[in-house]
């Protein structure tokens, strides 16, 4: 039999989020059925680094929320495993289940913030809690005693929906791993700008937003055309929704063209214009060249936005720009789409026709296709047409997805939650899914692998790290996240973690990649959506095999090179001998 693949939670990092990974099973242990993200043998943990400090059973803040901190004889049901009996403990941030068996102790650690919704059921005095997680997993706990069950359920409900950000786990989490590099300082604008300055001098760093006084949702430092001074920027900010004035998003080295992002212009019904705005974006064009404005709303929606003071760039005032409307759905439409998709994936009673029609009706893949199409269009304008591009929707916070994405609002709830707040939207998941689609089509062009994307998805929704807390730089700085929480990147940017996210097929390549957006080329992202619905043992083994093949080749190559060197040395020695 081949070495069984075996997934469990990382050592050296509390099992807050199930980060799947492949490690060889300890030799003495019988092979396990397959992935069991949150369940891991104690011995493996003990052998590795500590899982982090055991959270205080109930810090002061949470004591009153936890009426029953512990219940015995609880039965846990979770995907791919037989039911197991053990003890359930509630702490301020975790739900911990331990089988307490001497021979094969198993533990489940679940962050309360990973819990999307819970349901309770009673049969006699036996209560059942069904927990639906934001990573789309569903687990079930059978708890004897009606009171205990009710108490636990209400605690989970309260603890998983804490109002205050500062009560969340990242503010309590103390890492046990060695920090090589502070992730909060990994992506500083100055350093990024230095890279940019080495290829062009047409841009400058502006500190206009230092105190978040111009645009509360932008970072303090932004990159803008050199020829536009801060005074002009202030005027432009007045002309853009939420003051999100056009800033640099991406610079294309090959031809100096750029992608900028902003929010909609506030033209209103009477066609207001702003000379500085026109000047700003024109500054990115080469003489005689045209640019493209990609409006991620339909023309209809953009026109309607005028009534509310918003609008779009009028041809008359932006003669060098061509506007293209590429409709990308937003907010609740995306959220509904995700809910429908997850529902379809979880219902195993579907026949083929019903599955396909549910998949179709969810529209998830339609949204993927829309976003990829818009992205390809932008890339095409820049690379093929040699034109600069400005991308915006209404608020300019979702469509291009870089700095300033309101993570906290968008990722507060996942697919199972009933409370449908209007700002909920799986935009980041959609982005990750799009990246996965491109990764599938260009498996050699990404330095990271699918696991990296899945890890990001999990941490965006529930994490011990502060990276995805808050909605923008302003909020993050008010929360003092860099001082009070650990950055996800501090943990990721260590060789032992990085190696798990590395794509063995990666070959550095500076060429532009053009994915296909034909429906035949797009697939459901199984790694996320079917993860808990079908075992992945055989796929994991294939991945392992691929890594081994490439690793072995590299070792062989190194060996051959070393031998060649040796031979060459011996030959020179011989020659020297002869010469003597």
Partner 1 sequence: QVENVKLLDRYTNRKAANGTLYLTATHLIYVDASAEVRKETWILHHHIATVEKLPLTTAGYPLLIHCKNFHVAHFVIGQERDCHEVYTSLLKLSQPVKPEELYAFSYNPKMSKENREIGWKLIDLKVDYQRMGIPNNYWEITDVNKDYEVCNTYPPEIVVPRAANKAVVVGSSRFRSRGRIPVLSYLYKGNNAAICRCSQPLSGFSARCLEDEQMLQAIREANPGSPFMYVVDTRPKLNAMANRAAGKGYENEDNYDNIRFKFIGIENIHVMRNSLQKLLEVCEMKSPSMSDFLTGLENSGWLRHIKAVMDASVFLAKAVKDEKASVLVHCSDGWDRTAQVCSLASLLLDPFYRTFKGFMVLIEKEWIAMGHKFSHRCGHLDGDPKEVSPVFTQFVECVWQLMQQFPCTFEFNERFLLEIHDHVYSCQFGNFLGTCHKEREDLKICEKTHSLWPFLLQKKQELRNPLYRGFTAYKELQPNTLPFCFQFWCGMYNRFDKGMHPKQCVLDHLLSCVSQKMKLEDNASELE
Instruction: Work out the angle at residue 251's Cα, subtended by the Cα atoms of residues 250 and 253, and round it to the nearest 5 degrees.
Output: 145
Distances (CA, A) of 556 to 96, 125, 433: 46, 64, 36
Containing H/E element for 106?
A: strand 106-111
Instruction: Work out the angle at residue 105's Cα, subtended by the Cα atoms of residues 128 and 48, and round it to the nearest 5 degrees.
Output: 125
- Say how far apart CA 420 and CA 563 lie, in whole Å: 65
Given the complex with partner 1, which of 179 and 356 has the nearer CB atom? 356
Under 8 Å CB-to-CB from 426, ≥6 apart: which residues?
A: 334, 335, 337, 338, 410, 414, 415
- Say how far apart CA 570 and CA 557 lie, in whole Å: 20
Given the complex with partner 1, which of 180 and 563 has the nearer CB atom? 563
Given the complex with partner 1, which of 179 and 542 has the nearer CB atom? 542
Residue 380 C-beta: closest distance to partner 1, Å: 12
Given the complex with partner 1, which of 232 and 368 has the nearer CB atom? 368
CA end-to-end distance (rounded Å), the chain:
59
- Say how far apart CA 15 and CA 33 lie, in whole Å: 20
Given the complex with partner 1, which of 353 and 578 has the nearer CB atom? 353
- Say how far apart CA 336 and CA 237 lie, in whole Å: 33
Residue 346 C-beta: closest distance to partner 1, Å: 10
- Say how far apart CA 102 and CA 524 lie, in whole Å: 41
Residue 440 C-beta: closest distance to partner 1, Å: 6
Residue 185 C-beta: closest distance to partner 1, Å: 34
Among candidate residues 220, 263, 234, the one with its CA nearest the CA of residue 474: 220
Residue 414 C-beta: closest distance to partner 1, Å: 19
Residue 15 C-beta: closest distance to partner 1, Å: 27
DSSP state, residue 16: T
Neighbour order of strands in the sheet with 321-325:
247-252, 257-261, 389-392, 291-295, 321-325
Given the complex with partner 1, which of 104 and 557 has the nearer CB atom? 557
Residue 23 C-beta: closest distance to partner 1, Å: 18
> In terms of DSSP bridges, do strands 222-225 and 39-41 run parallel, antiparallel, or are they unpaired?
unpaired
Residue 456 C-beta: closest distance to partner 1, Å: 22
Residue 369 C-beta: closest distance to partner 1, Å: 5
Given the complex with partner 1, which of 507 and 578 has the nearer CB atom? 507
Burial 94-103 (b: 16+ CB within 10 A, else e): bbbbbbeeee
Given the complex with partner 1, which of 341 and 390 has the nearer CB atom? 341
Given the complex with partner 1, which of 304 and 553 has the nearer CB atom? 553
Residue 437 C-beta: closest distance to partner 1, Å: 10
CB 464 within 8 Å of CB 14: yes
Given the complex with partner 1, which of 253 and 551 has the nearer CB atom? 551
Longest dimension (CA), the chain: 99
CB 298 within 8 Å of CB 306: no
Given the complex with partner 1, which of 2 and 288 has the nearer CB atom? 2
- Say how far apart CA 42 and CA 106 lie, in whole Å: 6
Given the complex with partner 1, which of 16 and 359 has the nearer CB atom? 359
The residue count of the chain comes to 580
CB 398 within 8 Å of CB 330: yes
Distances (CA, A) of 282 to 291, 292, 390: 8, 11, 11
CB 310 within 8 Å of CB 394: yes
Residue 352 C-beta: closest distance to partner 1, Å: 4
- Say how far apart CA 449 and CA 432 lie, in whole Å: 12
Site of interaction with partner 1 (CB under 8 A): 1-2, 345, 348, 350-357, 359-360, 363, 365-366, 368-369, 440-445, 505, 513-516, 518-524, 526, 530, 533-535, 538-539, 541-542, 545-546, 549-550, 552-553, 556-557, 559-560, 563-564, 566-567
- Say how far apart CA 438 and CA 449 lie, in whole Å: 12
Residue 561 C-beta: closest distance to partner 1, Å: 10
- Say how far apart CA 291 and CA 390 lie, in whole Å: 8
Residue 505 C-beta: closest distance to partner 1, Å: 6
Given the complex with partner 1, which of 211 and 569 has the nearer CB atom? 569
Three-class secondary structure of residue 247 per DSSP = strand
């Amino acid at each position: 039999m081949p070495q069984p693949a075996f997934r469990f939670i990382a050592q050296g990092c509390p099992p807050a989020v199930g980060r799947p990974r492949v490690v060889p099973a300890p030799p003495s242990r019988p092979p396990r059925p397959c992935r069991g993200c949150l369940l891991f043998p104690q011995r493996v943990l003990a052998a590795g680094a500590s899982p982090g400090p055991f959270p205080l059973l109930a810090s002061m803040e949470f004591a009153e929320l936890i009426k029953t901190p512990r219940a015995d004889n609880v039965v846990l049901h979770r995907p791919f495993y037989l039911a197991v009996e053990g003890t359930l403990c509630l702490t301020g941030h975790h739900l911990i289940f331990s089988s307490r068996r001497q021979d094969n102790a198993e533990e489940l650690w679940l962050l309360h913030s990973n819990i999307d919704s819970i349901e309770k059921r009673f049969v006699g005095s036996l209560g059942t809690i069904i927990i639906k997680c934001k990573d789309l997993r569903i687990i079930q706990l059978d708890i004897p005693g009606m009171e205990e069950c009710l108490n636990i359920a209400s605690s989970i409900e309260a603890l998983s929906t804490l109002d205050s950000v500062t009560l969340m786990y990242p503010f309590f989490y103390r890492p046990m791993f060695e920090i090589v590099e502070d992730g909060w300082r990994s992506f500083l604008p100055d350093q990024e700008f230095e890279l940019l300055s080495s290829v062009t001098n047409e841009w400058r760093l502006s500190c206009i937003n230092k105190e978040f006084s111009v645009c509360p949702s932008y970072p303090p430092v932004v990159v803008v055309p050199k020829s536009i001074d801060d005074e002009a920027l202030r005027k432009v900010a007045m002309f853009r929704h939420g003051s999100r004035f056009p800033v640099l998003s991406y610079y294309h080295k090959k031809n100096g063209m750029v992608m900028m992002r902003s929010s909609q212009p506030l033209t209103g019904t009477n066609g207001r214009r702003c000379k500085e705005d026109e000047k700003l974006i024109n500054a990115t064009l080469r003489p005689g060249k045209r640019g493209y404005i990609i409006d991620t709303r339909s023309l209809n929606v953009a026109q309607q936005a005028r009534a509310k003071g918003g609008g779009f760039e009028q041809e008359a005032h932006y003669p060098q720009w061509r506007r293209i409307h590429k409709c990308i759905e937003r907010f609740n439409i995306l959220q509904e789409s995700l809910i429908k998709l997850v529902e379809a994936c979880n219902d195993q009673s579907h026949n083929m026709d019903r599955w396909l029609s549910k998949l179709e009706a969810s529209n998830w893949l339609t949204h993927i296709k829309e976003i990829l199409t818009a992205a390809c269009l932008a890339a095409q304008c820049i690379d093929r047409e040699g034109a600069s591009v400005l991308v915006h929707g209404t608020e300019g916070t979702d469509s291009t997805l870089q700095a300033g994405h309101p993570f906290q609002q968008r990722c507060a709830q996942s697919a199972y939650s009933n409370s449908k707040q209007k700002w909920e939207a799986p935009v980041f998941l959609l982005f990750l899914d799009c990246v996965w689609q491109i990764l599938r089509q260009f498996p050699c062009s990404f330095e990271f692998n699918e696991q990296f994307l899945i890890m990001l998805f999990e941490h965006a929704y529930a994490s011990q790290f502060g990276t995805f807390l808050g909605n923008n730089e302003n909020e993050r700085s008010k929360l003092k996240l860099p001082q009070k929480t650990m950055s996800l990147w501090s943990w990721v940017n260590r060789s032992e973690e990085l190696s798990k996210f590395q794509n063995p097929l990666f070959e550095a390549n500076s060429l532009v990649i053009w994915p296909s957006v034909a429906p035949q080329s797009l697939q459901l992202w199984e790694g996320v959506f079917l993860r808990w619905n079908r075992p992945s043992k055989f796929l994991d083994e294939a991945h392992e095999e691929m890594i081994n093949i490439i690793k072995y080749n590299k070792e062989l190559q190194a060996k051959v090179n070393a031998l060649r060197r040796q031979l060459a040395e011996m030959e020179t020695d011989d020659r020297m001998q002869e010469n003597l």
